[in-house]
Amino acid sequence: MFQRLLGKFSRDLGIDLGTANTLVYVREKGIIINEPSVVALNTRTGQILAVGRGAREMVGKTPSHIQTVRPLLKGVISDFEVTEKMLHYFIDRVHADAKGITPRPRVIVGVPLEITEVERKAVEDAVLSAGAREVYLIEEPMAAAIGARLPIEDAVGNMIVDIGGGTTEIAVISLGGVVVWKSIPVAGDEMNKNIVQYARDNFSLVLGERIAEDIKIKIGSAAELEEPLEVEMRGRDMISGLPREIIVGDAQIREALAKSVNAIVENIKSTLEITPPELVADIYERGMILSGGGALLKGLDRRIAQITQIPVRIADDPLTAVVRGTGILLENLDLLKTIAIPSAQDDSRRR
């Protein structure tokens, strides 16, 4: 009874705790935070100087005593203390305009498929320490499928490919569960590194990862474009050590990204190969859904459809599919309790 009363007045949250970006959905309000998962710290005082966009603007530009930290690696916590501070900052922002005493929120967090029990406990502990009263963990492809309004509880095959910053997760979902899946450490960050390496190998130019990401967003593609695109590539010349600018085209960046794109496509194919025939028939008829920031790579849907011979559709606003899925679950607690990952705290108590 008391928990139900708290639930009526608390600002319950859904969080997509991503390697590249953290998004926060507030019940009855929608997505109110969409910030880079970056924290700027003063190493002399331990003080947090900036979180999110402000911290991202400092990347590669700080003096020795200021450090910019990405506390999540491949979707899991690599720096517990910084993650806790980042979550605390975001939860405080949600409650900044609250009048009077607001009950601590119930929080749903999207986590990778490959998460271990230790990593689960780290996420739960960080969210509880940041001010939550209850934590539920949901597999990110499941949350993305719910956010894309797929009928996950029906006896039909739903295939979703969630291409985030640190990982690409490929899942076939039926009857409220993940039937087969693959998770690979090839996603947006790896594509940025591909462009950095390509510039080094072909133009003797040293790029920052932020510049590489901008180039990927502007002209990156997985299939030939109808109209050629060009963009400036600015960096430091490896020979002279001086700044240099060159113009690159979409064909060159497509060549740079080919290794990562091929890895994603091959893993989609190998996931289909181990999927039960009945579900493959459903997927062939219904198609697959792409979500996550990587789904926005130009022509990726066409490339996957061409190779797999399966219709491919990009989710509406693929960047927010996971957090919108957590938002839907905030309104459907029965479904949440059915599909949530068992708590690591419960596992340890049972021992």
pLDDT tens-digit readout, 205-247: 999 988 999 999 999 999 999 999 999 999 999 999 999 999 9
Residues 6+ apart with CB under 8 A from 23: 15, 16, 31, 33, 34, 35, 319, 320, 322, 323
Tell me which CATH code domain 151-186+262-319 carries.
Answer: 3.30.420.40
The pair of structure tokens assigned to 90 is: 């975001």
Domain boundaries along the sequence of the chain = 2-143+321-350, 151-186+262-319, 188-257
pLDDT for position 10: 73
Per-residue pLDDT of the chain (351 residues), as tens digits, is 444 545 455 789 999 999 999 999 999 899 999 999 999 999 998 888 999 999 999 988 889 999 999 999 877 888 998 999 899 999 888 887 766 567 889 999 999 998 889 989 999 999 999 889 999 999 999 999 999 999 999 999 999 999 999 999 999 999 999 999 999 999 999 999 999 999 999 999 999 988 999 999 999 999 999 999 999 999 999 999 999 999 999 999 999 999 999 999 999 999 999 999 999 999 999 999 999 999 999 999 999 999 999 999 999 999 999 999 999 999 999 999 999 998 876 654 444
> Which helix (H) or strand (E) covers residue 74, if one does?
none
> What is the assigned CATH class of domain 188-257?
alpha beta
Tokens of 339: 């599909």
What pLDDT, on a 0 to 100 scale, did the predictor assign at position 350? 45
The reported pTM is 0.89
Q: What are the b/e assignments for 198-209, b being 16+ CB within 10 Å?
A: bbeeebebebbe
Tell me whether domains 2-143+321-350 and 188-257 share a fold.
Answer: no
Q: Is CATH 3.40.50.920 the right assignment for the domain spanning 2-143+321-350?
A: no
* pLDDT, position 8: 53
Structure tokens at 271: 């996931």
| Binding-site residues from annotation | 19-21, 165-167, 213-216, 293-296
Binding residues for ATP, by number, are: 19-21, 165-167, 213-216, 293-296
In a 10 Å sphere around its CB, with 0-12 CB exposed, 13-18 middle and 19+ buried, how is residue 210 labelled?
middle
pLDDT of residue 60: 82
